[in-house]
């Protein structure tokens, strides 16, 4: 059966469509006549004048290449044409029409006659400036992320060291340090929601006070956004005040109150006051711990202002004055207010969990955290299944007898949903232990408790114990 002859007009239309869709420009260099034909599309992409022009041995094409790239580009193209009969290169080009420097990707093919003599070069070009700009932005973001991660790790290291210096027992250190780390995480969550452009004072106050002593706390002030540095400092300061108020101050009794109010100052900064009332009689502390040092020395500097803490008999009063450098412009998109910590299904219990006889699956891609979970649940009496660090590992363990599970929401970029669905189908309860900041509920709508990282392993054990309470013993 004969093959139908192709329609030259249709083939040309297809080529035109392909060039247009890919935003490519085409050119042809006639080596015999030494002229270059620049198409209208080539003109739009490169700025070269449309039409037929003297090629000058290729100089017409190379002349617009950025001086810093010209020699290397010419050498690469000539070498590829000599050895392979085709080339592909990326380089900067200075447009002849408006002088802009753009990135170009060029490909070409050497055409020979019946005797093998080179007669022309057919080539296409594409403006890839946007792709290079995106790569530059990505590289900048990675450098910024690296910088921030190192700063966070340095801050955590300093926090751990200073907390350890002023605590007398391991249990006290763990409790105090975990609380401070949680405060840092809350501030970081708010900053991430605003793409690190700032965090609202109202959100910082809500994150620390929203789940504590309902009806006994109030916070009020104008919409005000802080820089990442100031937000972290204020979050830690509020955490220290909350902790002290719950242990010794106004929030240690049902009659106590805490009022937080902030206002803008004429110089563009702000002033925030923390006032406790209705609590036990206050006396100044006998010695200064790291919390006091943090409030009186660190916070003021981080806010480019000053801090005053007064231990009045009627209640502690703290005053923070911040300079204009601590205030950030209002983000284009304002994140929604955080759900108070008490609204999350994070069980808190003073009694150690009793998981004796239970079989608990751990699915967590962070090895150190998985090992910590394994130790904590084993100490509570559970038989640990896993840990599974990958989705495939977790799926392979589902044929084992399992009474409960602790699931990380994301495993190296893969959702843990298949594991959760399989467990739910079997009626096996599970808790999500996740670092994702959205406090709106369990991932993918599962009816399951959720604990936000960073957490205390005893919280996870308590959550598992709560799920198994009342269930028949295995």
pLDDT digits (tens, 9 = 90+) for 353-401: 788 888 999 998 877 678 878 888 898 888 999 888 888 999 999 999 9
In a domain, 347, yes or no: no
Q: How many domains does the chain have?
A: 3
Would the pLDDT of 38 be above 60?
yes
Mean pLDDT of 411-433: 87
pLDDT tens per residue, range 62-76: 888 899 999 999 899
Beta bridge partners of 199: 226
In a domain, 33, yes or no: yes
Domain with residue 332: its CATH number is 3.30.565.10
Domain with residue 71: its CATH number is 3.30.450.20
State the chain's mean pLDDT as an integer: 80
pLDDT at position 352: 64
In a domain, 8, yes or no: no
Mean pLDDT of 440-460: 72
Domain with residue 404: its CATH number is 3.40.50.2300
pLDDT tens per residue, range 157-207: 656 766 676 677 777 777 767 766 776 666 666 656 556 567 888 888 888
Both 317 and 388 in a single domain? no
The set of residues, in sequence order, having a beta carbon less than 8 Å from that of 208 and lying 6+ positions away, is 183, 186, 235, 238, 239, 242
Backbone angles phi, psi at 322, to 5 degrees: -115, 145
Both 298 and 233 in a single domain? yes
Both 53 and 201 in a single domain? no
Would the pLDDT of 344 be above 50?
no
Q: Residue 320's pLDDT band (boundaries 50, 70, 90)?
A: very high
**For the packed helices 170-193 and 129-165, what is the interaxial angle rounded to 10 degrees?**
160
Domain that residue 404 falls in: 359-468
Mean pLDDT of 19-24: 64
Both 68 and 111 in a single domain? yes
In a domain, 149, yes or no: yes
Both 207 and 317 in a single domain? yes
**What distance in Å separates the CA atoms of residue 101 and residue 467, rounded to the nearest whole number?**
63
Among candidate residues 127, 148, 175, the one where a domain is terminated: 127
In a domain, 209, yes or no: yes
CA torsion, points 307, 313, 314, 317, in degrees to nearest 10?
A: 0
439 with 452: CB under 8 angstroms?
yes
Both 214 and 97 in a single domain? no
Both 379 and 243 in a single domain? no
In a domain, 101, yes or no: yes
pLDDT tens per residue, range 68-98: 999 999 899 889 888 998 989 999 998 888 8
Higher pLDDT, 289 or 154: 289
Task: Tell which residue, 404, 411, 398, 405, has the closest CA to residue 367.
Answer: 411
pLDDT at position 157: 67
pLDDT tens per residue, range 273-313: 999 999 899 888 777 666 677 777 778 888 888 999 999 99
**What distance in Å separates the CA atoms of residue 108 and residue 31, rounded to the nearest whole number?**
14
Among candidate residues 127, 154, 183, the one where a domain is terminated: 127
Both 297 and 151 in a single domain? yes
In a domain, 474, yes or no: no
Mean pLDDT of 93-118: 88
Both 263 and 192 in a single domain? yes
CA torsion, points 369, 371, 372, 374, in degrees to nearest 10?
A: 120
The set of residues, in sequence order, having a beta carbon less than 8 Å from that of 287 and lying 6+ positions away, is none
Both 150 and 29 in a single domain? no
Would the pLDDT of 30 be above 50?
yes
Mean pLDDT of 234-245: 85
Both 376 and 304 in a single domain? no
Among candidate residues 98, 127, 156, the one where a domain is terminated: 127
In a domain, 65, yes or no: yes
Both 182 and 299 in a single domain? yes
């Amino acid at each position: 059966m004969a093959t139908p002859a192709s329609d030259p007009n249709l083939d040309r239309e297809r080529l035109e469509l392909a060039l247009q869709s890919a935003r490519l420009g085409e050119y042809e260099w006639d080596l015999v006549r030494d002229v270059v034909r620049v198409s209208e599309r080539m003109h739009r992409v490169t700025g070269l004048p449309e039409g037929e022009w003297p090629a000058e041995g290729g100089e017409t094409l190379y002349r617009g290449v950025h001086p810093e790239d010209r020699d290397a580009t010419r050498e690469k193209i000539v070498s590829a044409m000599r050895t392979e009969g085709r080339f592909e290169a990326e380089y900067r080009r200075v447009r002849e029409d408006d002088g802009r420097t753009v990135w170009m990707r060029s490909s070409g093919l050497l055409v020979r006659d019946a005797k093998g003599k080179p007669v022309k070069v057919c080539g296409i070009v594409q403006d890839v400036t946007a792709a290079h700009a995106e790569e530059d932005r990505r590289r900048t973001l990675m450098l910024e992320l690296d910088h921030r991660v190192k700063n966070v790790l340095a801050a955590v290291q300093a926090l751990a060291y200073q907390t350890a210096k002023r605590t007398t027992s391991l249990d006290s250190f763990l409790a105090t340090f975990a609380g401070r780390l949680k405060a840092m995480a809350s501030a970081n969550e708010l900053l991430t929601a605003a793409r690190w452009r700032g965090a609202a004072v109202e959100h910082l106050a809500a994150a620390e006070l929203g789940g504590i002593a309902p009806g006994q706390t109030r916070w009020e002030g104008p919409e005000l956004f802080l820089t990442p540095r100031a937000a972290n400092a204020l979050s830690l300061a509020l955490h220290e005040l909350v902790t002290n108020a719950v242990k010794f101050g106004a929030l240690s009794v049902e009659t106590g109150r805490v009022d937080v109010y902030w206002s803008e100052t004429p110089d563009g900064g702000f002033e925030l006051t923390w006032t406790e009332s209705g609590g036990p009689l206050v006396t100044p502390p006998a010695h200064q711990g790291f919390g006091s040092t943090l409030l009186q020395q660190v916070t003021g500097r981080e806010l480019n202002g000053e801090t005053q803490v007064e231990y009045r008999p009627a209640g502690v009063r703290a005053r923070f004055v911040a300079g204009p450098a601590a205030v950030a412009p209002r983000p284009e998109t304002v994140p929604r207010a955080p759900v108070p910590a008490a609204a999350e299904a994070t069980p808190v219990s003073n009694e150690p969990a009793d998981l004796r006889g239970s079989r608990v699956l751990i699915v967590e891609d962070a090895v150190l955290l998985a090992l910590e979970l394994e130790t904590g649940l084993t100490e509570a009496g559970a038989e640990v299944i896993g840990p599974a660090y990958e989705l495939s590992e977790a799926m392979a363990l589902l044929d084992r007898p399992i009474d409960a599970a602790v699931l990380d929401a994301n495993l190296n970029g893969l959702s843990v949903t298949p594991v959760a669905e399989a467990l739910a189908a079997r009626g096996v309860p599970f808790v999500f232990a996740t670092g994702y900041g959205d406090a709106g509920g369990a991932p993918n709508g599962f009816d399951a408790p959720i604990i936000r990282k960073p957490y205390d392993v005893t919280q996870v054990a308590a959550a598992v114990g709560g799920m198994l309470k009342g269930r028949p013993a295995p």
